[in-house]
């Protein structure tokens, strides 16, 4: 066995990136009538998008199906080999099939053509050969051909799979925008993850309410306010007037500033030291919005207001942390 030839790993990596970058850039010229036709077919679909592909194309197809499904286009992946042995029953005439094959002549995929034609299922293809069997039989063929693979042997699918993946993302995003798919819609597809928590969780769901809300009336001494802060453990207390309306907030930061002034804890009224017109959050707002306010203002707690501006709760950074918003 001969010794391996010394290699410049960095230059090899940069060359791979350049080749794949050029492959992606070339796709821009191919977003034309076929792409529009493919989008229209999916938008008109009354069933689901079924993605299929063999080998590396199958791996890319599985990811494309997942991206479509999470962005408002119901989709799933079917292995073409399994389709010929029973899984074709998953596909109906109401569906749209996206078949991926770099050559456009992959046997396992081509075998499905007569059956799809018989069912009348619209076929969209992603191929690197517009003259291939699949491309010629498709309602719309998305050209994902590349000048060369990044693999120096020209064997391992590299540039071609990258181009196909990007084309799939382009299709998914175009459909997302056409449907008016929102961040909240996206969150409903991801309720268990951090993203779902950030997009779905409301302040009302995690705030402290009722007797847990730190609150003192104007006229309360600094000492009384400190006792309330200590009892409720949120690092702050709200201050209300005689009608119960919020007029200010007293926080740990206000306390430090007060001590610098050598104020009398037993006689100084809290309204002389509190922060007036401080930041608040509504109970129906997203918890992520509360986090943005806290980070922007460099504060750790917020009073929570109800529909009519009344004080209904309090929220601090630890609540957001426990809820997984941070």
In order of their start, the domains of the chain are: 9-180 (3.40.50.10490), 203-322 (3.10.580.10)
Which whole-number Å values give the CA distances from 207 to 302, 304, 320, in the listed order? Answer: 10, 8, 9
**C-alpha atoms less than 13 angstroms from C-alpha of 89 in its C-beta half-sphere:** 3
Residue 24 has pLDDT above 80, yes or no: yes
Section 10-16 average pLDDT: 91
Q: Residue 196: what pLDDT?
A: 56
User: Distance (Å, rounded) from C-alpha 82 to C-alpha 108?
Assistant: 9
Residue 185 has pLDDT above 60, yes or no: no
Section 104-128 average pLDDT: 93
In terms of Cα–Cα distance, which of 125, 143, 122, 144 is closest to 133?
125
Confidence of residue 8 (pLDDT cuts 50, 70, 90): confident
Confidence of residue 131 (pLDDT cuts 50, 70, 90): very high
User: Distance (Å, rounded) from C-alpha 305 to C-alpha 238?
Assistant: 11
User: How far separated are the first and last CA of the chain, in Å rounded?
Assistant: 54
Section 185-201 average pLDDT: 59
Residue 74 has pLDDT above 60, yes or no: yes
In terms of Cα–Cα distance, which of 31, 225, 294 is closest to 140?
31
Q: Considering only 33-42, 59-68, 246-255, which range has the smallest mean pLDDT?
A: 246-255
Residue 298 has pLDDT above 60, yes or no: yes
Question: Mapped to the 3 state alphabet, what secondary structure does 275-312 carry?
Answer: ECCCCCEECCCEHHHHHHHHHHHCCCEEEEECCCCCEE
Q: In what order do the strands lie in the sheet with 215-217?
A: 215-217, 236-240, 246-251
Q: Considering only 122-126, 189-193, 205-209, which range has the smallest mean pLDDT?
A: 189-193
User: Distance (Å, rounded) from C-alpha 213 to C-alpha 240?
Assistant: 12
Residue 97 has pLDDT above 90, yes or no: yes
Confidence of residue 152 (pLDDT cuts 50, 70, 90): confident
Residue 286 has pLDDT above 70, yes or no: yes
Mean of pLDDT over the chain: 89
Residue 198 has pLDDT above 70, yes or no: no
Section 21-47 average pLDDT: 95
Q: What is the pLDDT of residues 228-278, one digit of tens each?
A: 999 999 989 999 998 999 999 998 888 888 887 888 888 999 999 999 988
User: Distance (Å, rounded) from C-alpha 268 to C-alpha 246?
Assistant: 19
Helix, coil or strand: residue 257: helix
Confidence of residue 2 (pLDDT cuts 50, 70, 90): low
pLDDT above 70: percentage of residues in the chain:
90
Residue 128 has pLDDT above 90, yes or no: yes
Tell me which of 250 and 85 has the higher pLDDT. 250
User: Distance (Å, rounded) from C-alpha 194 to C-alpha 138?
Assistant: 39
Q: What are 47's two structure tokens?
A: 């069933």
Residue 227 has pLDDT above 90, yes or no: yes
């Amino acid at each position: 066995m001969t010794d391996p030839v010394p290699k410049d790993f960095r230059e090899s990596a940069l060359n791979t990136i350049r080749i794949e970058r050029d492959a992606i850039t070339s796709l821009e010229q191919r977003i034309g009538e076929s792409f529009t036709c493919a989008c229209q077919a999916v938008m008109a679909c009354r069933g689901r998008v079924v993605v299929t592909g063999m080998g590396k194309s199958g791996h890319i197809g599985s990811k494309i199906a997942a991206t479509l499904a999470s962005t408002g286009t119901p989709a799933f992946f079917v292995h073409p080999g399994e389709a010929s042995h029973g899984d074709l029953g998953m596909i109906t005439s109401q569906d749209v099939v996206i078949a991926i094959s770099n050559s456009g002549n992959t046997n396992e995929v081509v075998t499905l053509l007569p059956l799809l034609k018989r069912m009348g299922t619209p076929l969209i293809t992603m191929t690197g050969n517009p003259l291939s069997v699949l491309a010629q039989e498709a309602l719309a063929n998305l050209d994902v051909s590349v000048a060369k693979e990044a693999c120096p042997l020209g064997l391992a699918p590299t540039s071609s799979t990258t181009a196909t993946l990007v084309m799939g993302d382009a299709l998914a995003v175009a459909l997302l925008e056409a449907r008016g798919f929102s961040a909240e819609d996206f969150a409903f597809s991801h309720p268990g993850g951090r993203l779902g928590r950030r997009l779905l969780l409301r302040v009302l769901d995690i705030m402290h309410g009722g007797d847990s809300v730190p609150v003192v009336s104007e006229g309360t001494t600094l000492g009384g306010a400190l006792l309330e802060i200590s009892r409720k453990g949120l690092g702050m207390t709200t201050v209300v007037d005689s009608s119960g309306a919020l007029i200010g907030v007293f926080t740990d930061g206000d306390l430090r500033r007060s001590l610098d002034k050598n104020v009398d804890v037993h006689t100084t009224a809290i309204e002389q030291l509190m922060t007036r017109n401080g930041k608040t959050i509504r109970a129906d707002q997203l918890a992520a919005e509360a986090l943005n306010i806290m980070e922007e203002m460099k504060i750790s707690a917020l009073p929570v207001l109800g529909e009519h501006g009344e004080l209904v709760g309090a929220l601090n950074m630890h609540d957001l942390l426990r809820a997984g918003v941070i």
